[in-house]
Amino acid sequence: MVNPGLVSGNKPVNSVKISFRLPYLTQWGQSLLVCGSVPVLGSWNVKKGVLLSPFHEGSELIWSGSITVPKGFQCEYTYYVVDDKKNIVRWEMGKKHELALPDGVQSGQEIEFRDLWQTGSDALPFRSAFRDVIFRKSWDSSVKTTTGANHINLEPEAESILIQFKVFCPNIEKDTSIYVIGSNTKLGQWKVENGLKLSYVGEFVWLAECVIQRTLQSSLTIISTYRYCKYGRSGNASIENGPNREVSISASRREAKYIFLSDGMIRETPWRGAGVAIPMFSIRSESDLGVGEFLDLKLLVDWAVASGFHLVQLLPINDTSVHQMWWDSYPYSSLSVFALHPLYLRVQALSENIPEEIKQEIEKAKQQLDGKEVDYEAAVATKLSIAKKVFNQEKDLILNSSSFQQFFSENEGWLKPYAAFCFLRDFFETSERSQWGRFAQYSEDKLEKLVSTESLHYEIICFHYYVQYHLHLQLSEASEYARKKGVILKGDLPIGVDRNSVDTWVYPNLFRMNTSTGAPPDYFDKNGQNWGFPTYNWEEMSKDNYGWWRARLTQMGKYFTAYRIDHILGFFRIWELPDHAVTGLVGKFRPSIPLSQEELEKEGIWDFNRLSRPYIRQEILQEKFGSAWAFIATAFLNEYDKNCYEFKEDSNTEKKIVSKLKTSGESSLLLESEDKMRRNLIDLLQNIVLIRDPENPKDFYPRFNLEDTSSFQALDDHSKNVLKRLYYDYYFHRQENLWRQNALKTLPALLNSSEMLACGEDLGLIPSCVHPVMQELGLVGLRIQRMPNESDLEFGIPSQYSYMTVCAPSCHDCSTLRAWWEEDEERRQRFFKNVMESDELPPDQCVPEVAHFIIRQHIESPSMWAIFPLQDLLALKEEYTARPAIEETINDPTNPKHYWRYRVHVTLESLNKDNELKTIIKDLVRWGGRSVPLEDSQAEANLISTSSVADTVSEKQQFAGTGEKIRHPSEYNGIPSLTAR
């Protein structure tokens, strides 16, 4: 779209003046700038963009500016907010503006582009989740953006102006048209039938033009107030929400002859949908071998459609087989961020010519593995064993096929290192690279030798290719099936990778291998969490514009149309722990501005050894260990001063303490449990006030919850007051701008590398900068009712959630709805009284009526998405609640070695036959005003031509014939009672 001959600063022959105009309220010291794809607009170098000038028009602050260009000029452009040095403060999200001069424009005329600032939420309809699934249609590449402006010539002396109206409308029914109606006679004087009809020009864009005569009666004339309106075949008109729009022109003959209005989206009641969440491994079907498989997703999609759900959400599905034991059941510790997990392979689908003996083996394995829970090790071993036998039978046929060759060429960048890593892991019987001899350090030359066709182990390498190829085929089949059914498949992007992974082997410079990732104390664990992943070297990653992250997202986008960013706070700042830590308590945020020694000394704090070393006194030992204190002192400590102790070299880190207890048996000598002694010793080690930076010894970080330590309590009042103030500043004030800037560097790289809808898991200790940045970038947040963001609430209020959220009663990291209800009697009574508004005693168990109320609360919320764990949905029918509720928990965040093995106790085939449950759920979704997917028969009847967009059923259709007034959730005052169902 660039005009090759256009050079900034040279006035072209036959020139046309282009003006930009945008209403936008900035803060003091900020300006608006337009930058685009051509030299005159900076060629995407913001420093060379065109600064706009502000002026007030009524209560609005308008920014405007102009450039001179040749006839036939085309480009793309975006608006930026910059400071006085043209440093970017923020920028528009979504699609770039497109500028193409109409053919009829005359030399010397002016065209004014009146735009609206595009927010992150404006970009959402163009994400694949909506474009390709919810608002899907048969795209016709022959549809061209041609408008009347290209064929209307306005003479230079004519007293007329051409107005082009442009609006986006992704959600529209068949045989519905869009009009612009307004006060001007050309706009029908508010009568739809006389209004200006828009034409569909592709990609959700609707355009229309009209020529309006200029009047000289006043210095400023309002041409029209107007709105957009949908007009259906039945004669029903739906006028957009909000105030009237307005277009004005000056009476001056120097006014633009063409005004192009970009009016953003039609203002409608926001689209809202619902979904189901379940880990891939938890699904049960009649065909699987002890664990959910990718092809089972087709059955789950069928159930979702019949239940009124537009979305199926999974946990991570990448290969995690680092240890080759049940520890690998943890789905967030990836062996490779690109490879799919062999656990989810359906071996029956590997070939159409499986020998009878292998079929019998499969049937036998199916019976043996059909347990209450996943047997991770047996399932993986069985599938790989059977897959190897099928591979031996048909390897030449598959590996030489054009389909495999295409897959290999598109994925060899990660596939070859993955296969080589798996071979080395199996050969050396460990993923610990230090045990791999000369292969411990990765290089391209070593890789090519490992995967060479001449190597003795080439067949083993090819087997890993083969498994990944079939996993790709099976997941692609399920993914395409979901798209066609109008169901979004939502993946999960883990924040970390295993330190013994393909990625850390190939790209060690991208990771800080001497550190560990986790989370500070929160709802899930009062001691914090230590996930064990190395933290990221963001500085190194930025050198190629976060290419590794962009590649991850591109790969995910092959299968998913939405994704959850695990621990999105990690893109603002990460909780970084030393690699010798076991718990997650004694960490620091990275990046962050530390407390400098100079800063502390100015405040009268000077005894840094006292504050940063474990504070261990005899009375503390006696209080913690009782009569055994002397033994503990002898075994683990040195007395460096009278009644003052420090840890010995062999036990001065958390990992050393754990190791010493395992090997020396001190706990058995004391007749105490090893767990209790470990906890007490680690508590002692963590009894510090400041953490000294190992890389910069004059920098310090306040220990989380430092006031809880006896080290802090022993300080003088002055020191306490200073440290409390600095603690609060460190955790809640001084980092905000730094973290905001960090997120605005990293997150856009992810968002721009894929067309998937992005949702962020923003639970935990939330800095105040997080939600504004998420809103700015169009990221959908998460709301869990039992973990409200508001510090003064015990239970979140779904009716008050914002639109840009996913709401849910529970998630995989906490107990299910049933288990939560049973855990705490007093809390249950408070919920029953304060939320369900009942003065009676609540039932001991989460009976279907309670589940129905809570689920309905979430469905009726304003949140864009209400997504429910399958376990919570099964609580709607008593027959599915026979299994103890505690057994339905997926993860225990307090246990770093938790076995992730939960399986649903009912098959998908059975659920698909249960029309009663499907009807209960679908009625809840419908009556909550959320969109439901079309059944196959409906979808076929509602296919639309390229002149309109989208298959989604409107609320009018959904509620037709019910006799009920349709209410948006915001109309409810408070929470509906159970009797209102």
The per-residue pLDDT for 974 is 31
- Give me the phi and psi of 884, to 5 degrees please: -55, 135
State the chain's mean pLDDT as an integer: 89
Helices (H) and strands (E) in the chain, counts: 29, 38
Four-residue CA torsion sign, 505, 509, 510, 515: positive
Q: Could you read off the pLDDT of 162-172 as tens digits, one per residue?
A: 999 999 998 88
State how far the Cα of 750 lies from the Cα of 399, in Å rounded to an integer.
Answer: 33
Name the residue with higher pLDDT: 139 or 508.
508
Quote the pLDDT of residue 895.
Answer: 85
The band of 810, judged by pLDDT with boundaries at 50, 70 and 90, is very high
591: preceding bond cis by omega (within 30 degrees): yes
Best-predicted range by mean pLDDT (293-307, 652-666, 735-749): 293-307
Q: Is the pLDDT reported for residue 1 higher than 50?
A: no
Q: Which residue reads 């209960």 in tokens? A: 920
pLDDT for 59 = 86
Asked whether the predicted pLDDT for residue 481 surpasses 60, the reply is yes
- pLDDT of 958 over the 80 cut: no
CB 8 within 8 Å of CB 2: no
- pLDDT of 966 reads 30
Task: Report whether pLDDT(767) > 50.
Answer: yes
Task: Quickly state the pLDDT bin for 673 (edges 50, 70, 90).
Answer: confident
Phi-psi region of 939 (alpha: psi -120 to 50; beta: other; left: phi over 0): alpha
Residue 645 pLDDT more than 90? yes
Task: Kindly tell me if the per-residue pLDDT of 567 is higher than 60.
Answer: yes
What is the structure's pLDDT at 765? Answer: 79
pLDDT of 13 above 60 = no
- Please report, in angstroms and rounded to a whole number, the separation of the first and last CA atoms in the chain: 56
Mean pLDDT score, 537-552: 95
Residue 474 has pLDDT above 90, yes or no: yes
What integer pLDDT is reported at residue 221 of this predicted model? 61
Q: What stretches of 734-794 show up as alpha helix (H) in DSSP?
A: 736-752, 770-777
The pLDDT value recorded for residue 138 is: 40
Tens digit of each residue's pLDDT (9 = 90 or more) over 96-118: 999 998 877 888 888 999 999 99
β-strand 757-760 against 562-565: which pairing, if any? parallel
Local confidence band at 525 (pLDDT 50, 70, 90 cut-offs): confident
- For residue 2, what pLDDT is reported? 42
The Cα-based distances of 600 to 48, 664, 898 in angstroms read 43, 41, 41
pLDDT digits (tens, 9 = 90+) for 338-363: 999 999 999 999 999 999 999 999 99
Tell me the DSSP string of 271-325.
P-EEEEE--GGG---SS-SSS--GGGHHHHHHHHHHTT-SEEE----B---SSSS
| 460 pLDDT higher than 90 | yes
- More confident call, 442 vs 529: 442
Contact 338, 324 (CB under 8 A): no
State the pLDDT at residue 676: 85
- What are φ and ψ of residue 406, in 5° steps? -65, -45
CA dihedral 917, 920, 925, 927 (to 10 degrees): 170
Tens digit of each residue's pLDDT (9 = 90 or more) over 185-233: 899 999 998 999 999 998 889 999 998 876 555 455 667 899 999 998 7
β-pairing, 637-641 vs 644-647, is antiparallel
User: Are the beta carbons of 279 and 890 closer than 8 angstroms?
Assistant: yes
Q: What is the pLDDT of residue 827?
A: 96
The pLDDT assigned to 954 comes to 35
Tell me the pLDDT tens digit for each residue of 606-617.
Answer: 999 999 999 999
- Does 670 score more than 60 pLDDT? no
- Beta-carbon contacts of residue 604 (< 8 Å; ≥ 6 apart): 718, 719, 722
C-alpha distances out from residue 536 to 507, 549, 590, 625, Å: 11, 11, 10, 39
Please, what sign has the CA dihedral across residues 558, 559, 563, 568?
A: negative
Helix pair angle (297-306, 458-484), 10° resolution: 10
Q: Which of 157-161, 312-316, 537-541, 970-974 has the lowest mean pLDDT?
A: 970-974
Name the DSSP letter for residue 892: -
**Per-residue model confidence (pLDDT) at position 979:** 32
CB–CB of 113/18 below 8 Å?
yes
Contact in structure between 50 and 142 (CB atoms under 8 Å): no
Report the pLDDT value the prediction gives residue 978, as an integer from 0 to 100.
34
Q: How far apart are CA 347 and CA 385, in angstroms?
A: 10
Q: Kindly report, residue by residue over 238-271, the tens digit of the pLDDT.
A: 999 999 999 987 655 555 689 999 999 999 999 9
pLDDT at 142 over 50: no
Give per-residue pLDDT as tens, 583-596: 999 999 999 999 99
Amino acid identity, residue 928? G
Domains with residue ranges and CATH for the chain: 273-512 (3.20.20.80)
Residue with tokens 């003064």: 792
- Predicted pLDDT at 977: 34
d(CA 99, CA 981) in angstroms, rounded, equals 52
